[in-house]
């Protein structure tokens, strides 16, 4: 968690201020707005695990922001910075995010106050299993009530431990495999989940550049090719976003900001080479693919696009006046504080907000959950159907005298597999969500910016739900 900044709001306060700004434009009663805004419940669990010859006590959280749709959905992070305000803010963002991208979940979030690097893998497994037990006994892990996923400090490994522990505790639940998402593929996970949030950032930018008025408003032109990008954080999200943007869209990642230092290369950093170097355990200063420094102000490097993909509140009142990017896309949750948001807007810097930009993770988590509940692998039915349909089309065209190369026929006749379907579904979701935000902004220009329009769209969707049930 980032250090407190003087004269700055806390994370939850920032989220609520942005929420209130959008809500002020709505014709909804104050009571209903309050119902949508508040967090339903936050559970704090404290448990002991005997490790290294002594009992160590751990504190965990699971916040449920809104149960207007169930199950509720949200990641579990492992970090010493985990606290109640943080998980409640993240749970609220998850509610709005799901409403915005039309994923039928409520919002939740959890965390364990722990530094994973302080413990061995065996010790982490014991801690995770006990945490799972404490949550499961309160229905805070449950396939139809509350479905966690990976977050900062957790991944497939932790989700595998959690689902295994839940299944031990619920041997008669045939849907138990759906109690968490982000699992390894061989344990019921889905292809494309690891890359999902970073891939979603790429799709969000691709959709943004399809709208020439938005590109012009950001003082940009053309498409992503050649755009200079600064990325903060080369974890799972930042790495995949940077990799796809540089290799597929031909953008230039000119700066990568990591805990160990800053890498700069005006010709573009080889992201895969940098990631391999980091994974090798070698010091960052030994990477030969760019200039290495310990610059604390690298977020203010001049660029076309800035992608903060690490922690919340990294762009705040102290550095917002110095940001030189033309466009910011929030790959992390809450990287721009509410006060910094206003400074940036006043300076004409466009922001693609987190609740849309990083929605790829929960979108593909939904695909995984649906796959688990229906107990079928995506693509198994569609692939054969598409092969038959495509084969019939090729046959008909060839009878009319058309000819096709062997390579084209092979690629065209090969039906979509699970990864194809996941990527196509995610791309479609990101396109529709961005267009929904733009439609809202077009209809209500007084909202002024994409973030406020995104909040407005999400709040309106949740309000419609409550009104439909008589609230």
Residues 6+ apart with CB under 8 A from 272: 243, 247
Write the CB contacts of 71 (distance below 8 Å, at least 6 apart in sequence). 105, 106, 142, 143, 144, 145, 146, 147, 369
SS (H, E, C) the chain: CCCCCCCCCCHHHHHHHHHHHHHCCCCCCHHHHHHHHCCCEEEEEEEEEEECCEEEEEEEEEEEEECCCCCEEEEEEECCCCCHHHHHHHHHHHHHHHHHCCCCCEEEEEEECCCHHHCCHHHHHHHHHHHHHHHHCCCCCECCCEEEEECCCCCHHHHHHHHHHHHHHCCCCCCHHHHCCCCCHHHCCCCCCCCHHHHHHHHHHHHHCCCHHHHHHCCCCCCCCCCEEEEECCCHHHHHHHHHHHHCCCCEEEEEEECCEEEECCCCCCHHHHHHHHHCCCCHHHCCCCEEECCCCHHHCCEEEEEECCCCCCECCCCHHHCCEEEEECCCCCCECHHHHHHHHHCCCEEECHHHHCCHHHHHHHHHHHHHHHCCCCCHHHHHHHHHHHHHHHHHHHHCCCCCCHHHHHHHHCCCCHHHHHHHHHHHHHHHHHHHHHHHHHHCHHHCCHHHHHHHHHHHHHHHHHHHCCC
Cβ count within 10 A of residue 217 = 13
Annotated catalytic residue: which of 73, 109, 183, 227?
Answer: 109
In the sheet with 350-352, reading across from the earlier edge strand, the strands are 291-293, 261-264, 252-258, 228-232, 303-308, 325-329, 350-352
Maximum Cα–Cα distance across the chain: 80
User: Is 109 an active-site residue?
Assistant: yes
How far is residue 15's CA from residue 17's CA, in Å, rounded to a whole number? Answer: 6
Sort strands 72-78 and 146-150 into parallel, antiparallel or unpaired: parallel
Distance between CA atoms of 468 and 32, rounded to whole angstroms?
Answer: 13
Instruction: Provide the residue count of the chain.
Output: 471
Residues annotated as part of the active site: 109
């Amino acid at each position: 968690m980032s250090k407190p900044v003087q004269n700055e709001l806390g994370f939850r306060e920032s989220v609520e201020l942005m929420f209130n700004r959008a809500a002020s434009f709505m014709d909804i009663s104050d009571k209903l707005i309050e119902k949508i805004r508040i967090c339903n419940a936050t559970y704090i669990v404290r448990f002991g695990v005997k490790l290294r010859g002594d009992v160590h006590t751990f504190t965990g959280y699971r916040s449920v922001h809104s149960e207007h749709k169930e199950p509720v959905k949200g990641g579990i992070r492992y970090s010493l910075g985990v606290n109640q305000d943080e998980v409640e803010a993240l749970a609220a963002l998850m509610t709005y995010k799901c409403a915005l991208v039309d994923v039928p979940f409520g919002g939740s979030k959890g965390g364990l106050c722990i530094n994973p690097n302080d413990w061995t893998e065996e010790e982490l497994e014991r801690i995770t299993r006990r945490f799972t037990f404490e949550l499961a006994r309160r229905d805070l892990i449950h396939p139809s009530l509350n479905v966690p996923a990976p977050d900062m400090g957790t991944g497939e490994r932790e989700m595998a431990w959690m689902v295994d522990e839940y299944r031990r505790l619920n041997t008669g639940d045939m849907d138990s495999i759906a109690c968490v998402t982000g699992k390894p593929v061989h344990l019921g996970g889905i292809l494309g989940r690891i890359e999902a949030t970073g891939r979603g950032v790429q799709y969000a930018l691709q959709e943004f550049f399809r709208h020439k008025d938005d590109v012009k408003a950001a003082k940009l032109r053309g498409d992503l090719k050649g755009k200079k990008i600064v990325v903060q954080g080369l974890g799972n999200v930042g790495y995949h976003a940077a990799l796809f943007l540089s290799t597929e869209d031909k953008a230039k990642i000119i700066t990568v900001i990591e805990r160990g230092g800053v890498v700069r290369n005006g010709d573009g950093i080889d992201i895969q080479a940098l990631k391999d170097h980091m994974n090798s355990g070698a010091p960052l200063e030994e990477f030969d693919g760019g200039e290495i420094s310990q610059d604390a102000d690298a977020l203010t490097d001049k660029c076309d696009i800035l992608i903060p993909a690490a922690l919340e509140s990294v762009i705040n009142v102290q550095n917002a006046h110095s940001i030189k990017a033309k466009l910011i896309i929030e790959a992390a949750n809450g990287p721009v504080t509410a006060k910094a948001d206003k400074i940036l807007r006043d300076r004409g810097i466009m922001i693609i907000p987190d609740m849309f930009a990083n929605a790829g993770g929960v979108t593909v988590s939904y695909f995984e959950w649906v796959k688990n509940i229906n107990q079928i692998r995506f693509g198994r039915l569609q692939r054969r159907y598409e092969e038959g349909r495509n084969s019939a089309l090729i046959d008909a065209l060839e009878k009319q005298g058309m000819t096709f190369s062997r390579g084209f026929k092979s690629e065209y006749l090969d039906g979509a597999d699970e990864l194809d379907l996941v990527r196509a579904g995610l791309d479609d979701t990101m396109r529709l969500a961005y267009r929904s935000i733009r439609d809202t902004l077009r209809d209500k220009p007084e909202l002024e910016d994409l973030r406020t329009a995104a909040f407005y769209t999400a709040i309106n969707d949740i309000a419609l739900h409550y009104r439909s049930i008589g609230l």
